[in-house]
Chain A
Amino acid sequence: MNRPAPPLPPPPNATAGRPRAEPLAALRGVTKAYPGGVVAVRDASLAVAPREFVSLLGPSGCGKSTVLRLIAGLAEPTSGAVDRAYRHTADDQPLGCVFQEPTLLPWARVWENVYLPLRLRGVGRRQARASVDAALGRVGLADFAAAYPRQLSGGMKMRVSVARATVTRPALLMLDEPFAALDEITRFRLNDDLLSLWAEQAWAALFVTHSVFESVFLSTRVLVMSARPGRIIEEIAVPLPFPRTGATRTTPEYAELCSRVSAALERAMAPAGGDDG
């Protein structure tokens, strides 16, 4: 954690569109079949470059979460290759993960929950204090460090989860439908906050969602997945300028992109000749 902050990356606009030459993580022709014959992902290829915000959009059950698990190393591909370009070193945690559920330790206070990734890396409490306090501050929960998770609202729990995922200053943050269970007002606010964190901390994001509007609002690039077996059928660049705010949601460009992505999702859900048999 002591390594100096990375040099300031180019503004996010520059990375919109195609990934640059060296991706942080990539799937190359990956197929994942579970025992029992369910093929969750078939021949999927994708790459996430530094500083990108990539959304993975698809109907539920299309294998989006499996893609995340493959990249995180929580699942092994049946065939194909998973490339990871970031360094896995003892004092560096290049991956952060925010799951569908807040997934907090119920017996540990908020501060201890955010400290967990550092603790598992062997960082002492005193050494970690500044990072943990800063991570809590960034999500606006500095006053709740001593609370137990069950005392918090759903939105606050998710914020703790985001603080925990970002406390290690990851190179790649993976988010698996993190705000799906929250009400729309809370979700919009968390999306805004997520984007400012992204601008501030300069990680790349791989964001799984089934919301067209969310994917367009957040991303520099949207990948559309088809259902069962999951495969990436379309890729749409989102060249909307940053910083994106509530006003972005009312621009005609945003509406236009949303309808394009919607149409792609529509095609993704159409039965693809015989595969569903």
Chain B
Amino acid sequence: MADTRGTAGEQPAPPDRRRSALRRTVPVAAPLLVGLAVLAAWEAAVWYFQTPPYLLPAPSAIGEKIQQNAGRLASAWLVTFGTMAVALAAAVLLGVALAVVFVTSRVVELSLFPYAVVLQVTPLIAIAPLLVIWLDNPWWVRLVCAWIVAFYPILSGTVVGLRSADAGLRDLFRLYGAGPWQRVRLLLAPSALPYFLAGLRVSVNLALVGAVVAEFVTGTGTDSTGLASLVFEGQETMDVGLTFAALGVISATGVLIYFATHLTSGWLLAGWHDSSDV
């Protein structure tokens, strides 16, 4: 097969430099500008209407609060973030493991999937008090709460992903006598990866929400010092600035982990998956 360059017409063109620079800055710059504009408008409105700080503090005042309470916020953040991270890790491990079991055995899937759905549709606020009764340790309650909400997207995403392997490729692996482990590692896992990652993107933020909600339920007990307890404390002491400071840290964490997951998934799918172009 000698001269084939003719059919090779579709070599990727070198990307336009200015355009790619634009493509890289816009995703960061655009939301930043929106955020700054909103904060500026907020600041101006508070100043113009002379809103008392116990109703709505200005962003600058919240910033000051964050500075003043930096130490407490940091340790509270560690507690909340720790709950989220452990819950997420458990959700990934158990979600993927159960997905593999479901895909290998149709009977197990049919028998268990409805209960996974039950877990998903029952409001966390409704289960959490039960968990408080059942589990002595509030740390476990928070962990289980965050895990419950983070688990389902990973499970369902991975199940669909493992099933999505191309039929032609399955034939090819059979034809070449691939072993079960080769099939999982070289065919099923890569096929499932985009679906798993889509589930993970949903799960990270749900895990954070779950961790915070669980802190509200377990209350501002002496040793539970997550971000939610600072929100509570601000509310009880009429220190609305502190409430906003804690909320601000929660939001920032959410945005941060969202982008971290987004970047990781973009990196894992770079080059081969259609979504990596967007």
A153 touches B9 (CB 8 A): yes
B2 touches A140 (CB 8 A): yes
Chain B residues, Cβ within 8 Å of A186: 7
Q: Interface residues of A toward B: which range?
A: 35 or more
User: Contacts A97-B175, A120-B176; is A196 near B168 (CB within 8 Å)?
Assistant: no
A107 touches B171 (CB 8 A): no
B7 touches A105 (CB 8 A): no
**Selected contact of A119 from candidates B171, B186, B190, CB within 8 Å:** B186
- In the complex, the number of residue pairs spanning A and B with C-beta atoms less than 8 Å apart equals 86
Chain A residues, Cβ within 8 Å of B176: 93, 116-117, 120-121
A73 located at the interface, meaning its Cβ lies under 8 Å from any Cβ of chain B in the complex: yes
Minimum distance in angstroms from A124 CB to a CB of chain B: 14
Distance, CA A74 to CA B176, complexed state (A) = 11
B64 located at the interface, meaning its Cβ lies under 8 Å from any Cβ of chain A in the complex: no
A7 located at the interface, meaning its Cβ lies under 8 Å from any Cβ of chain B in the complex: no
B272 touches A144 (CB 8 A): no
A153 touches B173 (CB 8 A): no
**Selected contact of A105 from candidates B10, B169, B177, CB within 8 Å:** B169
Within 8 A of B (CB), among A122-167: 138-141, 144, 148-153, 155-156, 159
B271 located at the interface, meaning its Cβ lies under 8 Å from any Cβ of chain A in the complex: yes
A103 touches B169 (CB 8 A): yes
B236 located at the interface, meaning its Cβ lies under 8 Å from any Cβ of chain A in the complex: no
A159 touches B168 (CB 8 A): no
B273 touches A140 (CB 8 A): no
A207 located at the interface, meaning its Cβ lies under 8 Å from any Cβ of chain B in the complex: no
B46 located at the interface, meaning its Cβ lies under 8 Å from any Cβ of chain A in the complex: no
Distance, CA A72 to CA B176, complexed state (A) = 10
B172 touches A97 (CB 8 A): yes
Chain A residues, Cβ within 8 Å of B186: 105, 116, 119-120
**Selected contact of A103 from candidates B2, B9, B166, CB within 8 Å:** B166
Distance, CA A107 to CA B190, complexed state (A) = 7
Chain A residues, Cβ within 8 Å of B271: 148
Minimum distance in angstroms from B154 CB to a CB of chain A: 20
Within 8 A of B (CB), among A100-122: 101, 103, 105-108, 116-117, 119-121
A74 touches B1 (CB 8 A): no
Distance, CA A118 to CA B231, complexed state (A) = 60
B: which residues have CB within 8 A of A? 1-12, 166, 168-169, 171-178, 182, 186-187, 190, 193, 271-274
Listed A/B pairs (11) with beta-carbon separation below 8 Å: A74-B175, A97-B171, A101-B168, A103-B166, A106-B272, A108-B190, A141-B4, A144-B8, A149-B272, A153-B8, A193-B1
